[in-house]
Amino acid sequence: MSGRPMRILFTSAGRRVALTHCFRRAAEALDMRAQVHACDFVPDLSAACLDADTAFAVPRCTDPTYVDHLLGYCAREGIDLLVPTIDTELEVLAEARERFAALGTRVHVSDPETIAVVRDKQRTIDVLAGAGVPVPRTAALEQVRAAPEDWRWPAFVKPVGGSASRGIGVLEGPQDIAGVYPEPMLVQELLRGPEYTVNIYIDAAGRMLSAIPHLRLTVRGGEVEKGRTTRDPRFIAIAEAVAAALPGARGVLCFQLIDDPQRGPCVFEINARFGGGYPLADHAGGRFAESLLAMLADQPECASPDWREGVTMVRYDAAVFRG
């Protein structure tokens, strides 16, 4: 390995140490050197920031100066690739991606129209249903409140723009609908059965190169804690339909589905970024991080459909020390 390192910035880095290590290994596979940069609101309390080669503080991603802080850093440090890790920063980064490109920084984000769809769970359901993707019945909470007799109970409730399992719950009946919610809410039919995440890679031409489902054996804080890769042709076909429904999607996305014994598999969530369970897909041979780095180096994208089934991930807590 020689020459200038590939400089990769992970924003809202939090606990994503495993993700940054995926990129380090991907760079080695391409005979490159990766220099990992990371930022967070309080980097001294972020494991990924402490594990990075260099880290810095930024305002919250909802702050109007957030993008300007990142632009300034990317210009000073010559950042090649910016990798967002949380849903709430995707919209502003998608809108600013051409400003980053002018500096030589590629932002790993789909186009603004795609982000607008996936950040609104009602629009997500409508777009997927229109493309023939199986989805649960979904309606605004106000509609359900007005006609509860039209619904089967129990039902599922969640925020229109939520993430990380914030605000979700089960309504046993219409009597459980609260009088006031802090944000717009949706009600969905309650699906039962095993839950899966499907990690997908869409290349620069809009073609899906790989789809890797894994069974979510246990989940903590909305993120898979134990999972196992599963090659189910139904899920791969659904992944193709999801990709076709989002023509502006690029790079890595993931979606969740439940394989209901009556309804079959139904998609209920899309995250247009690296999901928390991506390291499992990476270890199984998906090569998504490697594909992004290859594209930056003007090499063919290499996300692979030849991944290994039955690979199990079991996570544990580890400590990162500084000082």
The size of the chain, in residues, is 323
Res. 87: pLDDT tops 70: yes
Same domain, 243 and 282: yes
Structure tokens at 166: 């914030």
Same domain, 174 and 212: no
Q: What is the CATH number of the domain that holds 300?
A: 3.30.470.20
Same domain, 171 and 211: no
Q: How many CA atoms lie within 13 A of 319 on its CB side?
A: 2
Structure tokens at 10: 């992970």
Average pLDDT over the chain, rounded to whole? 95
pLDDT band at 2 (very low <50, low <70, confident <90, very high): low
Domain count, the chain: 3
Same domain, 49 and 36: yes
pLDDT at 70: 98
Using a pLDDT cut of 70, give the percent of the chain over it: 98
pLDDT at 144: 92
Q: For 159-197, how does the pLDDT look when each residue is reduced to its tens digit (9 = 90+)?
A: 887 665 566 889 999 999 888 888 889 999 999 999 999
The dihedrals phi and psi of 71, each to the nearest 5 degrees, come to: -60, -45
pLDDT at 164: 56
Same domain, 147 and 181: yes
| 106 alpha-carbon distance from chain centroid | 17
Strand-strand pairing, 208-220 and 6-11: unpaired
pLDDT at 165: 59
Q: Is residue 154 part of a domain?
A: yes
* C-alpha distances in Å from residue 281, one per residue of 88, 95, 197, 257: 23, 28, 10, 16
* Domain span holding position 15: 6-108
pLDDT at 222: 79
Measured distance CA(213)–CA(145) in Å, rounded: 35
Q: Is residue 1 part of a domain?
A: no
Q: For 226-262, how does the pLDDT look when each residue is reduced to its tens digit (9 = 90+)?
A: 999 999 999 999 999 999 999 999 999 999 999 999 9
Residue that terminates a domain, selected from 170, 189, 208: 189
Same domain, 210 and 285: yes
Q: Is residue 221 left, alpha or beta, with left meaning phi > 0 and alpha meaning psi from -120 to 50?
A: left
Q: For 36-55, how does the pLDDT look when each residue is reduced to its tens digit (9 = 90+)?
A: 999 999 999 999 999 999 99
| CA proximity to 154, closest of 166, 139, 169 | 169
Same domain, 217 and 229: yes
User: pTM of the entire structure?
Assistant: 0.93
pLDDT at 221: 79
Same domain, 185 and 197: no
Strand-strand pairing, 208-220 and 223-229: antiparallel
Res. 1: pLDDT tops 60: no
Same domain, 170 and 209: no
CB-based contact 113:248 (threshold 8 Å): yes
Same domain, 53 and 159: no
Residue that terminates a domain, selected from 88, 108, 128: 108
Of residues 280 and 182, the one with the higher pLDDT is 280
Which helix or strand (DSSP H or E) is residue 97 part of?
A: helix 97-102
Measured distance CA(113)–CA(107) in Å, rounded: 15
Using a pLDDT cut of 90, give the percent of the chain over it: 89
Helix spans in the chain (H) = 17-29, 47-51, 66-77, 90-95, 97-102, 112-118, 121-130, 141-146, 233-245, 278-283, 288-296
Res. 3: pLDDT tops 80: no
Q: Is residue 294 part of a domain?
A: yes
Which are the contacts of 2, defined by CB distance < 8 A and separation ≥ 6?
Answer: none
Provide mean pLDDT across the span 307-313. Answer: 98
pLDDT at 312: 98
Q: What is the CATH number of the domain that holds 29?
A: 3.40.50.20
pLDDT at 163: 60
Q: Is residue 125 part of a domain?
A: no
Residue with tokens 């649960």: 136
Q: Is residue 46 part of a domain?
A: yes
CB-based contact 88:273 (threshold 8 Å): no
pLDDT at 322: 86
Q: Is residue 131 part of a domain?
A: no
- Lowest-confidence range among 123-127, 191-195, 235-239, 317-321? 317-321
Q: Is residue 320 part of a domain?
A: no
Residue that terminates a domain, selected from 147, 173, 189: 189
Provide mean pLDDT across the span 67-80. Answer: 98
CB burial of residue 218 (10 Å; 0-12, 13-18, 19+)? exposed
Measured distance CA(8)–CA(21) in Å, rounded: 12
Same domain, 60 and 159: no
Same domain, 91 and 148: no
Measured distance CA(210)–CA(201) in Å, rounded: 5
Provide mean pLDDT across the span 84-108. Answer: 97
Q: Is residue 132 part of a domain?
A: no
Which residues in the chain belong to E strands, given as ranges? Answer: 6-11, 34-40, 54-57, 81-84, 106-107, 138-140, 155-159, 169-171, 185-189, 195-202, 208-220, 223-229, 251-260, 264-271, 312-314
pLDDT at 50: 97
| CA proximity to 118, closest of 17, 276, 255, 24 | 255
Strand-strand pairing, 81-84 and 6-11: parallel
